[in-house]
């Protein structure tokens, strides 16, 4: 029997690259997609040599509405179907909503909300038919706490991914398809280098709040195998998420009011 195939978006670095290695280590072939072709080619070669599986690099920009269909067409051109999907591609924008360009906000919605939703919709029927599927939507702790300054769409998108995953989890009970929203907090990756917040975060956040991308990706894999609808990574983040549920909304919002400037350029 052919090995199962995992499709990972945003796979050129961070949680995406770590997820590709973890699925390969568990015997999956992988299709990895991102914008940076050189990174993808290098990762594909590493995975093939290290784990002895097939690694298919697919260069695509999820800001293009045609990208999800094109990615799955590339997978099909290799005679493959998607057995596991990790919707990981994402990034943060700097600035308040009014101070940013609409095109940038539109693209963030396409990359982090519309594209992952479309990918799930396209691969889910086949998973149900084959009675096997794993879907990990990489959300964030930001989706479980009140929104803060400078996270105008980001937090809302991540909250959507959590609710979306919970509903999918319930709709697919007893089908063999497992759905998980992975909710990391601060993670060592290129995410904060891209939005220019690395130096600010290093100065304002303690080391014990941070997890490695490998640890986060492993938690996502394990949660999907166990069919847990939501996985918050790390004890401190679990405590923060629980605390946010317990206190009144106006208290929680007041606590967040002054935090945006610590975590993101605004």
User: Is 221 designated active site?
Assistant: no
Predicted confidence (pLDDT) per residue in 219-229, tens digit: 999 999 999 99
Mean pLDDT lowest among 27-31, 105-109, 246-250: 246-250
Which CATH number do you get for residue 11? 3.40.50.720
pLDDT higher than 50, residue 135: yes
Q: Angle formed by the axes of helices 115-130 and 154-171, to 10°?
A: 10
Range of the domain at 89: 5-263
What is the pLDDT, as a whole number, of residue 198? 44
What is the pLDDT, as a whole number, of residue 189? 60
Counted domains in the chain: 1
Structure tokens at 172: 């697919």
Selecting among 23, 28, 91, 154, the annotated active-site residue is: 154
Predicted confidence (pLDDT) per residue in 220-261, tens digit: 999 999 999 999 999 999 999 998 888 888 877 777 776 655
The alpha helices in 52-153, defined as continuous H runs, are: 67-77, 102-109, 115-130
pLDDT higher than 50, residue 123: yes
What is the pLDDT, as a whole number, of residue 10? 97
* Number of other CB atoms surrounding residue 239 within 10 Å: 11
What whole-number distance in Å separates Cα of residue 142 and Cα of residue 145?
6
């Amino acid at each position: 029997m052919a090995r199962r195939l995992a499709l990972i978006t945003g796979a050129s670095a961070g949680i995406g690259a770590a997820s590709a290695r973890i699925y390969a280590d568990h015997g999956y072939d992988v299709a990895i997609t991102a914008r940076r072709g050189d990174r993808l080619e290098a990762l594909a070669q590493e995975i093939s040599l290290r784990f002895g599986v097939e690694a298919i690099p697919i260069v695509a920009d999820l800001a293009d509405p045609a990208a999800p269909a094109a990615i799955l067409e590339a997978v099909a051109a290799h005679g493959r179907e998607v057995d596991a999907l990790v919707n990981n591609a994402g990034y943060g924008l700097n600035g308040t909503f009014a101070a940013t360009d609409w095109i940038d906000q539109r693209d963030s919605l396409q990359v982090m909300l519309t594209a992952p939703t479309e990918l799930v919709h396209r691969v889910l029927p086949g998973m149900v038919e084959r009675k096997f599927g794993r879907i990990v939507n990489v959300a964030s702790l930001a989706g479980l706490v009140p929104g803060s300054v400078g996270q105008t769409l980001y937090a809302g998108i991540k909250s959507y991914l959590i609710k979306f995953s919970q509903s999918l989890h319930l709709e697919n009970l007893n089908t063999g398809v497992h759905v998980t929203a992975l909710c990391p907090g601060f993670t060592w990756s290129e995410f904060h280098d891209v939005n220019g917040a690395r130096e600010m975060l290093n100065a304002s956040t303690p080391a014990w709040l941070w997890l490695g991308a490998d640890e986060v990706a492993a938690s996502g894999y394990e949660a999907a195998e166990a069919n847990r609808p939501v996985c918050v990574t790390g004890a401190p983040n679990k405590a923060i998420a629980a605390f946010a549920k317990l206190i009144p909304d106006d208290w929680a919002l007041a606590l967040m009011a002054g935090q945006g400037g610590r975590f993101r350029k605004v």
